[in-house]
Amino acid sequence: MSAGIEHEDLFRQVYAANFERILVYALRRVAQPEDAADVVAEVFLVAWRRRDIPPEPETRLWLYGVARRVLANHHRGTLRRERLGDRLRHRLRGGPPVDPGSQVPDRLAVRSALARLGELDREVLMLTFWEGLEPREIATVLRVSPAVVRTRLSRARTRLREILRDEPEPAGHALDVMAVRIPEEGR
């Protein structure tokens, strides 16, 4: 009998002998039955991946230990989601976030001009002005050096101004759309 088949047989035995106990354990520790099902699935996924499941009678105790750690991760994740929800609700009390490009009537001219730029120049401009990133941060995102970002940014600004000046109708304050930054969160 191959090792894969032996492992599968052992897993089936462990699952059959312990599923109900692990499910009850999880149900007693979470608010929703669906969460218990997720916890049990994760516990048995860990057991499936592990090639050296402890022999009986330690198997059940080991599974309880795995379930305890999975539940701890589950509770941390729930807390993170609740905190994120609270932060989002707090931010949205002042109204939904506004796209900086929608704040000026020249949005279409700017978007058209951006589309005429090369992909890297366009991305450098948008990461700088709309996302509020610094050149060193943009360099990390784009996997180029900060010097390349600074050079690209300078050239892209110049090219964008030229494109907007060449538009048939004056762009007015179209460049202002590039200067509007998103407020930083929690810094």
Check whether 50 has a pLDDT greater than 50: yes
| One domain for residues 121 and 158 | yes
pLDDT recorded at residue 103 = 55
Q: Is the Cβ–Cβ distance between 134 and 143 less than 8 Å?
A: no
Q: Which residue has the higher pLDDT, 57 or 167?
A: 57
Structure-block tokens of residue 128: 């700088």
| One domain for residues 142 and 86 | no
Chain segment 62-86, per-residue pLDDT in tens:
999 999 999 999 999 999 999 999 8
For residue 104, being part of any structural domain is answered with: no
Tell me the angle at which helices 58-92 and 3-27 cross, rounded to the nearest 10 degrees: 60
Query: Which single residue is written with the structure tokens 């996302």?
Result: 131
For residue 97, being part of any structural domain is answered with: no
Cα(5)–Cα(9) distance, rounded to whole angstroms? 6
pLDDT recorded at residue 132 = 87
Cα(97)–Cα(183) distance, rounded to whole angstroms? 10
| One domain for residues 124 and 79 | no
Domain that holds residue 16: 1-92
Average pLDDT of span 22-38: 94
Check whether 32 has a pLDDT greater than 60: yes
What is the rounded average pLDDT for all residues in the chain? 83
- How many helices and strands, by DSSP H and E, does the chain display? 8, 0
Check whether 182 has a pLDDT greater than 50: no
Kindly list the distances between the CA atom of residue 73 and the CA atoms of 66, 153, 164, 172, in Å, as whole numbers in the listed order. 11, 42, 52, 53
| One domain for residues 75 and 147 | no
For residue 63, being part of any structural domain is answered with: yes
pLDDT recorded at residue 110 = 78
CATH of the domain at 78: 1.10.1740.10
For residue 173, being part of any structural domain is answered with: no
Structure-block tokens of residue 134: 């610094």
In sequence order, what are the residues at sequence separation of 6 or more whose Cβ sits closer than 8 angstroms to the Cβ of residue 174?
Answer: 104, 106, 109, 110, 113, 164
